[in-house]
Structure 1
Amino acid sequence: MNEHTPKRLTGSLIQRAIAMMPGLPTEEAPARQPAAPPAQDRPMVPIDRARLAAAGMLVPGGPITPLAEEFRMVKRQLLLTARGVAGVDADRARMILVCSAQPDEGKTFCAINLALSMAAEKDVEILLVDADFAKPDVSKRLGMGEGPGLLDALDGRVDVEACIVDTDVPQLAILPAGTRSVSDTELLASDGARAMLDRLAAANPRRIVIFDSPPALAASPASVLALHVGQTMMVVRADRTSEEDLRAAVAALDGCEHIQLVLNAVSFQPSGRRFGSYYAQAGR
């Protein structure tokens, strides 16, 4: 991952990303739920740091690596927009969709790393939501068990705040996908879903909500989620995403005003400069 685009996507920006690639009616709202328990009463689970390291991901409390520096760069524009941009609703700007065009392009890898990187900030609290209902993978990658989640809350079975799981990483919490449903897209498109998702951000002005979405061209929930968020981070895999797929995915997510590109799986020359070496030399 090497580059991100800080403005609304245009044809020229698509060309810029492509140039770096080789060859290239609503339902009723759910019944009102009782108030959620205080945050201190929520369950807390540890993150499996060994699993993260084995997968080549960021490790909380670990050394500064090239990957850590890259995500520092990626998150900065997202944080600036989250903290206030003209024309973007203040609460919705703190809701970020992480998506890709097709499966296996690295969107869950990027969503988790983005959440871990953002959680290191001093003035925010991060809620990572597994919204890839067909293939939920966030909890597994973090070494956490499954439990009730977003789909259960959308179906009116539980309060959404009660499904949030705190982790032993300061300022990072997880909202699992929840119980599988054949009506996931319809639940997301309901008026009740919009109100519920808006409350996730409105409930805490420090909270940034990151949604790990299904691929835009592989599952319909992505385009519906794009209507709820203020920002989208589109993961573009350098060795796989085609121009046609990229354009189609952007069109599918047009409900979101601010779309950024992040180029994933870029090959670096061994002798080339890359983030991280500066810190490795400290103290010499």
Structure 2
Amino acid sequence: MTDQGKINREGARPASLFERADAAFGLGPVNAGPKLPPVPPVPEPLRRAPVPQPQASAPQVQEQSVVPQAPAAPISEPAPLPEPAPEAPRAVAFSGPVAAIDREHLRDGGLIIPEDPVTGLLEEFRIVKRELLAEARSGDSGLARRILVCSPHPGEGKTYCATNLAIALAAERDLEVVLVDADVVKPEVTRRLGIEAERGLMDALADPSVQPESLVIRTDIEGLFVLPAGTPSALDAEYLASAHTGTVLDRLTQGAPNRILIFDTPPALAASPAAELAAHVGQALLVVRADETAKAALEDAQQLLSACPDIKLLLNAARYSLSGRRFGSYGAGGK
């Protein structure tokens, strides 16, 4: 009979298959390796609470506090570049003929000789020119550098004084003097200087294409120039009264602050050119002859020259002075 082991009926754990096999075949205990700890049961997964879904609603605008801001400063435009200063006009150069003045002819006419020793006549005109130069250099406009020499009647010495004044002024350093013969009725300047000329002031006034600087004569007296009267016509007064007269005179002094114009005009009470030219000059020298010119004639001449802002009186051929100062040869030789 097969030996069977007793069955543990007292609640013992039943033998496993390995144990039964070991008991039957004598294989010995089987090393089953270390016993692993029991694995705890996996708990049921936690149930998450449902996440509430946002309900669709109108978008809400988040209110923001608005801080008032100062208005932005206007963007300043870059300052414009300064415009270049206009170039000063160049002096108009005289391009007329050259003439030599006979000194003996000047001496015969009682005029100043530049190379001669100082005379009483020269000293008298030095006094006259100083007053005229002071005004010419202090004036803001170029008109003060234009000087009109006139007299109420013929024979009172206007051309004589204008010529001597021009020679005396030409002796100044760095000064150009243009003696303009504006007595188109009876031109005397070229004759007194002993020079000849055909064209002059009236030709430039009658024909705008004629440049006046081309008619100015350069003399051999340093700094002295002459613009003859030119060709006379029946419209001389109208030419002098035209606007072109100002253009011609401006061209003669353009860009030349050291240039002075001396005008020898007809007598104020004998012809109109003196009154017409008075509006184009800044100084007038009214020549009267001592013991001959009447007060009424002097006042009338002054009225005709009233367009000139500065009228000075020059007493010619005077033989005495209230101050006791003698006029020398100027008083004795006034012509």
> Displaced runs of 4+ in structure 1, greater than 6 A?
none
Tell me the TM-score normalized by structure 2: 0.67
Alignment partner, residue 157 of structure 2: 106
Q: Distance in 2 between matches of 1:224 and 1:65?
A: 35
2:325 is aligned with 1:266: no
2:216 is aligned with 1:164: yes
Match of 2:167 among 90, 95, 116: 116
Indicate the larger mover: 199-208 or 111-120.
Answer: 199-208
Counterpart code for 1:52: L
2:301 is aligned with 1:223: no
Aligned-partner SS, 1:58: coil
Change beyond 3 A, Cα 1:134–1:122: same
Change beyond 3 A, Cα 1:268–1:276: closer
- List aligned pairs for 1:133-152, cutoff 5 A: 133-152=184-203
Shift of 1:117: 0.2
Alignment partner, residue 121 of structure 2: 67
Aligned-partner SS, 1:196: helix
Alignment partner, residue 96 of structure 2: 42
Shift of 1:64: 0.6
| 8 A Cα contact 1:92 1:230, kept in partner | yes
| 8 A Cα contact 1:188 1:194, kept in partner | no
Q: Distance in 2 between matches of 1:163 and 1:93?
A: 23
Q: Distance in 2 between matches of 1:145 and 1:161?
A: 17
Counterpart code for 1:61: E
- List aligned pairs for 1:10-49, cutoff 5 A: 38-39=93-94, 41-49=95-103
| 8 A Cα contact 2:320 2:327, kept in partner | no
Tell me the TM-score normalized by structure 1: 0.79
Aligned-partner SS, 2:303: helix
| 8 A Cα contact 2:166 2:262, kept in partner | yes
Q: Distance in 2 between matches of 1:44 and 1:268?
A: 41
Q: What count of residue pairs does the alignment treat as equivalent?
A: 236
| 8 A Cα contact 1:95 1:201, kept in partner | no
Q: Distance in 1 between matches of 2:167 and 2:245?
A: 26
Shift of 1:50: 0.8
Q: Distance in 2 between matches of 1:37 and 1:92?
A: 17
Aligned-partner SS, 2:285: strand
What residue ranges of structure 1 are gaps of 5+ in the alignment?
Answer: 1-35, 278-284
Larger Rg belongs to: 2
What residue ranges of structure 2 are gaps of 5+ in the alignment?
Answer: 1-90, 330-335
Q: Deviations over 1:222-244 (max 9, x none)?
A: 10000100100110110211101
Shift of 1:201: 1.8
Aligned-partner SS, 1:226: helix
Shift of 1:268: 4.6
Higher relative contact order (CA 8 A, sep 6+): 1
| 8 A Cα contact 1:83 1:90, kept in partner | no
Change beyond 3 A, Cα 1:106–1:169: same
Counterpart code for 2:266: P
Change beyond 3 A, Cα 1:37–1:235: closer
Shift of 1:146: 2.0
Alignment partner, residue 69 of structure 2: none
